[in-house]
A and B are shown apart, each in its own frame.
Chain A
């Protein structure tokens, strides 16, 4: 089994790779984690992870600059039904459009736009930076045995925009930050988290483990 972490010049790949390696070590089935910018390797991988930090348009540009990467990812996920995990902007790219500074097309895997969060409490700062609990919207294998809800575990967020999904059925969990913030989306064989599982200590590693075990 191989897990491809897509390297397109964005984000802290080192942290994501180390977290997936750590989680993979606890699996019964050995899984090889590789960081790659080779579309063929991504196409052949059993699982695909798309990290991303920074601005939506920059990340999209970076991804497009790797020849054949988006096609390889799309075909692996949409045709070959490979499990996919988008992290932060990697999750936002799954949307129809991003509206950070400029309007940019996403993959349109999850219908909806990526919009600026607007907490109703004016004391809440932007970015939404720090630890928040998650409220379950829809059960999903990747959320198995994870303590959610107001007394559950916390996830680490750093963002000013979120994916406002058109279909409620695509949302797995939300956080509250002066209003609802989309925290986890999931559709078919793809999931995405707005927060950083690779920075969310044990909770994040448990989520990554669930993803590595998931057989959709």
Chain B
């Protein structure tokens, strides 16, 4: 059973086609893993065994006929921000607790089209607002990794923490996430797996519960770079129902992983040498540059001068868009309703009861920066700084093919840490937010362990719509790092 759960997606595809395992066996093994590990990890809000087994049987039928799409029989976890037809979709919020979508998001529809098996809906920070998966109304997700000699519960990162913990612990072969300021890359780093945020516009946002519409982008988690490439191949593509999705062909991302990095120019942005960054993260970053140099890449020092203003810009733009997007939760058409005598009371009581503390904070900040008298000073100013941050990236990508940086300024921290001060929590996203603001793609690849035995990721950032180079560099890092450490909480560990 441990072998079954150690499959990569690429390996499972071969085994399914060679009939050495059936989709039903693969799905049953993962459902058993969920049953065993969920009490410790809380990575799922909703588990759907019946629909998973039905999908597995359908995949077995298709494979027996010599048919079956590229993901036939592959068990995945779906972040509970993607609307799934007939399956409750909560966004980690009380306000959507009763919501059962009557339609399917485009990304999940494409995964189903390709034969994927959905095991359930993964936990997340409420409305994807957070960096620790502790703001979920359904309780925190726990990181399957622990510090050596300690059983302190650590956060999996966020907001897609359930998706990352499920893949790291062996409860799913891959999963979907969404990334607005780092919500795929930072949890991938904290959980020792691969997470990819594509270019803004690469995947459709139709049916993804909206947080900040100019930043949100779906992407995959997996245990290898190639697996992430396979998943993105199914998730990406134009959708007439999302006017911001690009009508360009989807390349063969898995083939791009095998390109190598010979002759590529890799930039090292000097502004990412943050004050107070642990020495072991600096060392790992240097190690990553050496690996790429050894593989034939040229390393170039570059500057992204407005990096330090990324977070402040983000914490104006994202709350502004969130305050507008979340205005729809009014207790009238769907979701929670707190009964009241008049309509204003109904709105105010429903939204007070339905939104958690962090979501309320962001709605209020957004309302403030968009309100009369402050709009120019905050929102317009942030949009201008955003233009400068985009220009930083455009300028740098005239000189280099990709950038290498750490993914996060620390390894996973304890549940309850960084909770006293919202700004301290926001600083987790210092290395991931700039790429989100510019809309460029980024991947986090596990590259090593810190002194406590916790995983650390390195981030590769690429040009707009050049995910192929990002995958090629990610693969080179993965091959050189040979990362094979396993988290303490996984199925084999319970024997």
**A and B together in one complex:** no
Interface residues of B, Cβ cutoff 8 Å to A: none
